[in-house]
């Protein structure tokens, strides 16, 4: 982070190097969708396809409750990884439904026609904030939910994920957020190890889309991780 704009691409590939990190913007949406699909094969959101995910990642940073960071490559045209979060999953879903439904609906309906079970899973997604439970919206404390963190497969294990997470935590500190929650597919051992290594504590298992999920929480003190 805080590198000059001419940070070479190699920096992103050098284990342990500090990389340039920039805010997630709608401009990154298509690539974020591609990284999401590469990073989460076989999951519900991936099954909605690149078109729906691109609309989602374009809408997210435009929302007052959405934010995230990317690691741009030297040319600035591509990203090596990104992290996205919301300060209110419920408000984010409501906003997506109210403001962006016209854009989501055509590609969603095409997907539902091909795979009708996706319609039911989409309905489950709308109820997801209740299924995951325990988020700060219930206590009134300012909290965030980490929605996705994805690093381009060839660039993993060089510390990029850790730097994206650090950037997110710093922004949470700026916003006086007291905890970050994240939901992980129980079979995603790599991500679970990643969160455990970064001070996330396993909270409780629950079911979503017929799959076992785990919620994790990282407590922040004045925005800083304990
Ligand atoms: C989870 C994910 C984002 C982590 O990104 P990453 O860039 O590989 O993360 P890091 O490099 O910081 O840490 C990953 C591993 O690299 C190791 N590592 C970190 N810095 C390193 C360095 N400088 N040199 C060598 N290895 C390093 C860590 O020890 C860690 O090892 P572990 O897997 O045994 O815990 C990435 O694996 C990914 O995109 N996964 C697919 C998508 C996904 O499942 N996302 C989470 C659910 S939303």
Residue 7 has pLDDT above 70, yes or no: no
> Residue 8 has what pLDDT?
35
Q: Whose CA is nearest to atom 9 of ligand 1?
A: 161
Residue 178 has pLDDT above 80, yes or no: yes
Measured from the Cβ of residue 9, the count of other Cβ atoms closer than 10 Å reads 13
The answer to the question of residue 3 being in a domain is no
| Nearest-atom index, ligand 1, CA of 188 | 44
CATH number at residue 215: 3.40.630.30
CA–CA dist 25, 91 (Å, integer): 19
47 CA distance to ligand 1 middle (Å): 24
184 CA distance to ligand 1 middle (Å): 14
Domain that holds residue 140: 9-225
> Residue 197 has what pLDDT?
97
Measured from the Cβ of residue 91, the count of other Cβ atoms closer than 10 Å reads 16
The answer to the question of residue 4 being in a domain is no
Number of C-alpha atoms within 13 angstroms, CB side, residue 46? 12
Question: How many distinct structural domains can be found in the chain?
Answer: 1
Q: Whose CA is nearest to atom 18 of ligand 1?
A: 157
Residue 66 has pLDDT above 90, yes or no: yes
> Residue 15 has what pLDDT?
64
Rounded to two decimals, the pTM is 0.87
In the structure encoding, which two tokens stand for residue 186, read together?
């129980």
Lowest-pLDDT choice from 84-88, 93-97, 167-171, 198-202:
93-97
The answer to the question of residue 43 being in a domain is yes
Does ligand 1 have an atom closer than 6 angstroms to the CB of 187? no
Q: Whose CA is nearest to atom 19 of ligand 1?
A: 159
CA–CA dist 43, 90 (Å, integer): 21
The answer to the question of residue 2 being in a domain is no
> Residue 123 has what pLDDT?
78
Does ligand 1 have an atom closer than 6 angstroms to the CB of 156? yes
CA–CA dist 213, 226 (Å, integer): 25
Q: Whose CA is nearest to atom 31 of ligand 1?
A: 157
The answer to the question of residue 1 being in a domain is no
The answer to the question of residue 78 being in a domain is yes
Does ligand 1 have an atom closer than 6 angstroms to the CB of 159? yes
């Amino acid at each position: 982070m805080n590198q000059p704009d001419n940070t070479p691409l190699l920096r992103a590939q050098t284990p342990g190097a500090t990389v340039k990190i920039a805010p997630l913007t709608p401009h990154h949406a298509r690539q974020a969708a591609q990284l999401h699909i590469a990073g989460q094969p076989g999951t519900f959101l991936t099954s909605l396809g690149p078109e729906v995910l691109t609309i989602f990642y374009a809408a997210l940073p435009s929302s007052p409750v959405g934010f995230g960071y990317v690691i741009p490559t030297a040319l600035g045209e591509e990203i090596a990884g990104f992290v996205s979060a919301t300060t209110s999953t419920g408000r984010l879903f409501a906003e997506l439904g109210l403001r962006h439904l016209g854009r989501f609906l055509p590609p969603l309906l095409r997907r539902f026609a091909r795979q009708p079970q996706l319609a039911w899973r989409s309905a489950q997604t709308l109820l997801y904030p209740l299924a995951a439970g325990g988020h700060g919206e219930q206590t009134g404390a300012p909290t965030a939910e980490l929605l996705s963190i994805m690093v381009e497969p060839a660039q993993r294990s060089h510390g990029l994920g850790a730097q994206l997470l650090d950037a997110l935590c710093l922004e949470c500190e700026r916003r006086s957020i007291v905890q970050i929650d994240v939901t992980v597919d129980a079979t995603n051992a790599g991500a679970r190890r990643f969160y455990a290594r970064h001070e996330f504590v396993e909270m409780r298992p629950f079911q979503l889309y017929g799959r076992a999920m785990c919620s994790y929480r990282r407590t922040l003190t004045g925005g800083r991780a304990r």
